[in-house]
């Protein structure tokens, strides 16, 4: 997971020496933006069992996915990356004699990618935690970072805004307890036990805020039934364990996200009202809000996952056990929650969703599913679209999306503009300057529905390179339009 403390560049109407990473879509009349989603995309095609994905985004906009896979006859860890244009090939990260599984991934502010997993390659000891890192050029060797006498169960990893990497793991001794360690850029700290309760402390999740605090939420049955607990690392010490739920029911499978203002958002599913529903509470730096029930559906709602974007919007996605099963989404804008939105229909073998937000407000969703006969990894991306361009009957948006991908250097000769249209239609893509004058027409033709891209040479219709300033990119298709803004400097 990645800590999003701010957008890479503030969205302002003045020239600054960068390109914005994404065009911010402007809704008619100043209406708030909705989310639109790309079609489901199958990421693995190996005929084996590909399961338990993890996802993280880096500050450059790349998306990093890990999972466990049996294609080579043994359970190994695999990786692939979205670079803003295409996916890399599947890359096998482990090649050990034992089982390698349960991968977790995090990206730090420098672009290093950190992967942790459990591994039983050592035949005479219990499974241990292993680690490797991508530095932008190559992967480091597998490194064993635990030495537990008990059995590792599950864990989580987060990179904070200062570049430190934090891991929390559930380890079975006489019962499950949580252990913590930190990588400071040079080495890992010693194992530190952070729970000491008579029950089982398990399923930890992590978030890091922009002040360097690390927030741990987990499931715990020390009080006779499963409840949600919390504690915080300030950089110096841990706060005491704090019980967040107290309802007499089973509160399970927590998720946590930190927004740029330091608010902590906690999710879980709970059967206090007869069957599992999604619940939520928030820490505002002073106190916790009461439990809030987010779903009231005709079937079970389980396994929430959440993310906060750089503007402080909070997104909740969860598994809904209707037939057909669905992934649903809702958004908190600081004032209220939106209605549930169906993001995709999934098969009976579908497991819990995992989501990450990037630095420009896109959501990246991964899950496993057996729709194609065996477990495979699936992905889709959500982003802002013009309000009102939505088709709920299909469970996905039917709007328009424009995205500008900046060149690798400020003086790059061209800019890639990617866009999405819902159906085959006549489409125009034009560039306007700040006064509203059309300076370039990039597209004016009939195109198929789906994702497209054009290369803009940053030149006007007369062939001359345009001066520094604010420019607007307007997409029109199927009777709809989307307008975004970017800033250009020579």
Q: How far apart are CA 409 and CA 61, in angstroms?
A: 15
Choose one of 352, 383, 414: the last residue of a domain.
Answer: 383
Q: How far apart are CA 109 and CA 64, in angstroms?
A: 14
Q: Report which of residues 119 and 398 the model is more confident about.
A: 119
pLDDT (0 to 100) of residue 388? 28
pLDDT (0 to 100) of residue 357? 92
Q: How far apart are CA 16 and CA 419, in angstroms?
A: 24
pLDDT (0 to 100) of residue 152? 60
126 phi and psi angles, rounded to 5 deg: -65, 160
Residue 143 pLDDT > 70: yes
Average pLDDT, the chain: 80
Is residue 16 situated within a structural domain? no
Is residue 165 situated within a structural domain? yes
Q: How far apart are CA 77 and CA 185, in angstroms?
A: 23
What's the domain count of the chain?
Answer: 2
Q: Report which of residues 3 and 455 the model is more confident about.
A: 455
Choose one of 354, 383, 412: the last residue of a domain.
Answer: 383
Report, as an integer, the average pLDDT of 408-416.
52
Residue 285 · residue 271 · CB < 8 Å: no
Indicate the range of 394-408, 432-446, 460-474 predicted with least confidence: 394-408
Residue 42 pLDDT > 70: yes
pLDDT (0 to 100) of residue 432? 79
pLDDT (0 to 100) of residue 401? 57
Q: How far apart are CA 328 and CA 396, in angstroms?
A: 10
Residue 74 pLDDT > 60: yes
In this predicted model, what pLDDT tens digit does every residue of 299-331 receive, in sequence order?
889 999 999 988 788 999 999 887 678 899 999
Is residue 13 situated within a structural domain? no
Residue 278 pLDDT > 80: yes
Q: How far apart are CA 488 and CA 448, in angstroms?
A: 30
pLDDT (0 to 100) of residue 141? 96
Mark whether 417 and 377 lie in a shared domain: no
pLDDT (0 to 100) of residue 142? 95
Residue 484 pLDDT > 90: no
Tokens encoding 281:
């509470």
Choose one of 318, 351, 383: the last residue of a domain.
Answer: 383
Report, as an integer, the average pLDDT of 269-274.
90
Residue 393 pLDDT > 60: no
Residue 214 · residue 262 · CB < 8 Å: no
Mark whether 373 and 270 lie in a shared domain: yes
pLDDT (0 to 100) of residue 176? 85
Mark whether 331 and 480 lie in a shared domain: no
Mark whether 303 and 180 lie in a shared domain: yes
pLDDT (0 to 100) of residue 241? 96
In this predicted model, what pLDDT tens digit does every residue of 144-187 receive, in sequence order?
988 776 666 678 889 888 888 988 877 665 578 898 999 998 89
CATH number at residue 458: 2.60.40.4070
Indicate the range of 54-58, 104-108, 402-406, 473-477 predicted with least confidence: 402-406
Residue 324 to residues 345, 348, 353, 367, 490, Cα–Cα distance (Å): 6, 8, 16, 16, 52
Candidates 373, 365, 422, 424; CA nearest to 41 is 365
* Letter string b/e over residues 426-446, b meaning 16 or more CB atoms within 10 A of that residue's CB: ebebbbbbeeeeebbebbeee
329 phi and psi angles, rounded to 5 deg: -140, 145
Q: How far apart are CA 124 and CA 119, in angstroms?
A: 12
Report, as an integer, the average pLDDT of 200-226.
92
Top-ranked range on mean pLDDT: pick from 95-99, 137-141, 296-300, 350-354: 137-141
In this predicted model, what pLDDT tens digit does every residue of 382-392 receive, in sequence order?
876 422 222 32
Residue 213 · residue 221 · CB < 8 Å: no
Is residue 258 situated within a structural domain? yes
Residue 34 pLDDT level (bands cut at 50, 70, 90): low
Distance of CA 432 to the CA centre of its chain: 33
Mark whether 341 and 415 lie in a shared domain: no
pTM (two decimals): 0.75
In this predicted model, what pLDDT tens digit does every residue of 4-27 receive, in sequence order?
664 432 222 222 222 222 333 322
pLDDT (0 to 100) of residue 411? 41
pLDDT (0 to 100) of residue 453? 83
pLDDT (0 to 100) of residue 5? 62
pLDDT (0 to 100) of residue 485? 55
Tokens encoding 162:
């200062």
Residue 370 pLDDT > 90: no
Is residue 10 situated within a structural domain? no
Q: Which residues contact 479 (CB under 8 A, 6 or more apart)?
A: none
Candidates 21, 89, 90; CA nearest to 58 is 21
pLDDT (0 to 100) of residue 32? 33
Mark whether 132 and 247 lie in a shared domain: yes
Mark whether 346 and 413 lie in a shared domain: no
Residue 286 pLDDT > 50: yes
Mark whether 378 and 412 lie in a shared domain: no
Residue 124 pLDDT > 80: no
pLDDT (0 to 100) of residue 219? 95
Mark whether 168 and 93 lie in a shared domain: yes
CATH number at residue 67: 2.120.10.10
pLDDT (0 to 100) of residue 145? 87
Residue 92 pLDDT > 90: yes
Residue 182 · residue 165 · CB < 8 Å: yes
pLDDT (0 to 100) of residue 250? 94
Residue 410 · residue 489 · CB < 8 Å: yes
Look up tokens 């927004």; give the residue: 259
Residue 21 · residue 486 · CB < 8 Å: no
Is residue 301 situated within a structural domain? yes
Residue 355 pLDDT > 90: yes
User: Dmax of the chain from CA atoms?
Assistant: 76
Residue 249 pLDDT > 70: yes
pLDDT (0 to 100) of residue 16? 22
Mark whether 348 and 411 lie in a shared domain: no
Torsion of CA 155, 361, 328, 70, to 10 degrees: -40
Mark whether 405 and 379 lie in a shared domain: no
Residue 101 pLDDT > 80: yes
Distance of CA 311 to the CA centre of its chain: 15
Is residue 379 situated within a structural domain? yes
CB atoms within 10 A of CB 80: 18
pLDDT (0 to 100) of residue 153? 61
Candidates 386, 440, 468; CA nearest to 23 is 386
By residue range, what is the domain housing residue 482?
A: 401-488
Is residue 25 situated within a structural domain? no
Residue 427 pLDDT > 80: yes
Mark whether 233 and 337 lie in a shared domain: yes
Report, as an integer, the average pLDDT of 181-207.
90
């Amino acid at each position: 997971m990645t800590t999003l403390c701010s957008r890479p560049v503030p969205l302002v109407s003045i020239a600054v020496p960068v390109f914005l990473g994404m065009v911010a879509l402007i809704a008619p009349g100043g209406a708030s933006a909705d989310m639109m989603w790309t079609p489901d995309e199958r990421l693995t095609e190996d005929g084996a069992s590909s399961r338990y994905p993890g996802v993280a985004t880096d500050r450059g906009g790349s998306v990093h996915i890990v999972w466990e896979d049996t294609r080579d006859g043994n359970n190994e860890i695999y990786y692939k990356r979205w670079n803003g244009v295409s996916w890399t090939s599947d890359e096998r990260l482990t090649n050990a004699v034992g089982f390698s599984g349960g991968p977790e991934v995090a990206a730090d502010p420098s672009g290093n990618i950190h992967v942790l997993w459990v591994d039983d390659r050592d035949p005479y000891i219990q499974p241990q935690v292993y680690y490797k890192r991508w530095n932008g050029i190559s992967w480091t060797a597998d490194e064993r970072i635990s030495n537990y006498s008990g059995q590792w169960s599950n864990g989580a990893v987060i990179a904070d805004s200062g570049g430190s990497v934090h891991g929390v793991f559930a380890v079975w001794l006489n019962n499950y307890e949580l252990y913590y360690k930190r990588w400071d850029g040079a080495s890992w700290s010693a194992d530190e036990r952070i729970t000491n309760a008579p029950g089982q402390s398990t399923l930890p999740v992590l978030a890091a805020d922009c002040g360097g605090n690390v927030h741990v939420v987990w499931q715990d049955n020390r009080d006779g039934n499963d409840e949600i607990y919390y504690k915080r690392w300030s950089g110096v010490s841990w706060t005491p364990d704090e019980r967040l739920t107290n309802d007499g029911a089973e509160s399970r499978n927590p998720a946590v996200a930190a927004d740029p203002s330091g608010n902590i958002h906690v999710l879980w599913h709970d059967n206090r009202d007869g069957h599992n529903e999604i619940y939520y509470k928030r820490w505002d730096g002073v106190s916790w809000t009461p439990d809030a029930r987010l779903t009231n559906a005709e079937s079970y709602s389980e396994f929430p996952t959440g993310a906060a974007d750089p503007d402080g919007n909070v997104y909740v996605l969860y598994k809904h056990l209707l037939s057909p099963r669905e992934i649903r989404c809702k958004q908190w804008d600081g004032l209220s929650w939106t209605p549930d939105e169906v993001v995709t229909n999934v098969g009976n073998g579908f497991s819990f969703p995992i989501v990450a937000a990037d630095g420009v407000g896109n959501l990246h969703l991964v899950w496993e599913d057996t729709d194609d006969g065996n477990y495979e990894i699936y992905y889709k991306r959500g982003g802002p679209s013009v309000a009102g361009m939505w088709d709920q009957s299909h469970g996905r948006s039917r709007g328009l999306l424009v995205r500008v991908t900046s060149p690798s250097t400020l003086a790059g000769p061209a800019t890639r503009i990617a866009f999405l249209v819902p159906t085959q239609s006549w489409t125009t893509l034009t560039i306007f300057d700040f006064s509203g004058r059309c300076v370039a027409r990039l597209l004016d033709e009939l195109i198929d529905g789906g994702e497209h891209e054009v290369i803009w040479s940053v030149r006007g219709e007369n062939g001359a390179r345009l001066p520094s300033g604010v420019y607007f990119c307007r997409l029109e298709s199927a009777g709809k339009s989307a307008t975004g803004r970017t800033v250009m400097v020579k």
